[in-house]
A and B are shown apart, each in its own frame.
Chain A
Amino acid sequence: MAEIRSLHDAVAGLIHDGDTVAMEGFTHLIPYAAAHEVIRQGITDLTLVRMTPDVVYDQLIGAGLVRKLVFSWGGNPGVGSLHRFRDAVENGWPRPLELDEHSHAGMANRYVAGASKLPFAVLRGYRGSDIPARTDTISTITCPFTGEELAAVAALNPDVTVIHAQQADRAGNVQLWGLTGVQKEAALAAGRVLVTVEEIVEELQPRPGGIVLPTWVIDAVCVVPDGAHPSYATGYSVRDNAFYQAWDPIARDRETFTRWIEENVRTGLDEEAAIR
């Protein structure tokens, strides 16, 4: 059952050094506030998982908290490269970053297998690609009925999945809507689930395209209005495209980046989250 907790306590209670953590979101509903709390608490040696690591993973990587990244497309969507990600991979700054790299189809199916508590998933994928040579989480499997050889991908079961949603009720049931990406699978694949929400409502009203996660598959719900900023929450906010563009020059330079994190995350406005 989900406990409604402060972001500080939920992050401290659920995310530990060395954990494999998925903070999912396909541009929409990205849990920035929770990630910033991880930075403030200095939780480190993380394996981060996400189909589309973007600016928030750039921040965690640049802050030196990440040992390994499991992903399929890493970039600043609509802008360009993730400079901290590149610097870590290319130059090992501030620490080397191990990669487990897939295609979107492979990652999506890895989450599906994880949510289904199966050890692997099957897809017609990676054909003719060099990707399988770089990872041990892709193998092949032969259909027992047709003899066709297909790709097998290992299940993803993060220790913790963190997502942002629009609403929870007082019992801790959560609803998200709009682009819901792979969030349900990521949550159900995880050992622990932390959800930040825009607000608590008396009753969740079923929404078109809405996904409901019942309280009994969630560990903590934290009320963090605008907790997806600069990403957005359909019905509550719009994407802060200017921030994504502004991030490019900030992240290009190690010092600028470090100062930004210091001023805006470690001691900045997000500090309020600690007392919420």
Chain B
Amino acid sequence: MGAEYTKKELLITVVARLLQGCGHIACGASSPIPGAAALLTRARSNGRTRVTVLGSEKNNFFTNGGVELFDIAGEGRLDAFFLGGGQIDGFANINLVGTGGTYPNNDVRWPGSFGSAYLYFVVPKVILFREEHTRRVFVPKVDFVSAPGVSEPGVYRPGGPKHLVTNLALFDFDPKRIRFTLVSVHPGHTVEEVLDNTGFDFDRPAMVPVTPAPDAQTLAELRGSIRPEIAETYPRFAETAFAA
């Protein structure tokens, strides 16, 4: 049994587990769930975790302009970051540019690659985060590689994808085998549902565990201290994401 919780509260909890122990976590634009997860991680770190929320005035210590996030990542002072994608394939390539038609005149154009083509290479723990779990998103091969999941030998690449979190499940990524492995399926969903909605092959254990639900203490923390903190940057999210 357990407390009632929203899907977003579950996802925050899942992401926060992946962030444990990180010294410095940054969250890009339009990333309320990763942002809340980072703030939760910080709240539990006894002062050891720093969080940078782009677009926040309070949770952003940079004083050297927009370049500082990238510089600090290039120096190895950023431990975790989040990327998404209009398309993500089984090699962990991500596409933030567009689909359909011929680039650059795509039928569907997305905003662009932002920092992905750089941060994916230099941040040790990149968590792929995309709520929508459909074959539209999780494709056999992306139409445009904003940033590749793995690199050839010899390419400077201290960083890369480590996990993938969606509305349905949590995956790990193994850059040596260039494959995702299903780690757990979220409560209320099934392995079949994940298979049906994923356009690429992935590994999975014989028995796939259920993603642990947030415990009561976590929910209290989220609804107590984290909610007003994330509201500074994402007021509408803070209104709707949390139960109670």
A and B pair up: no
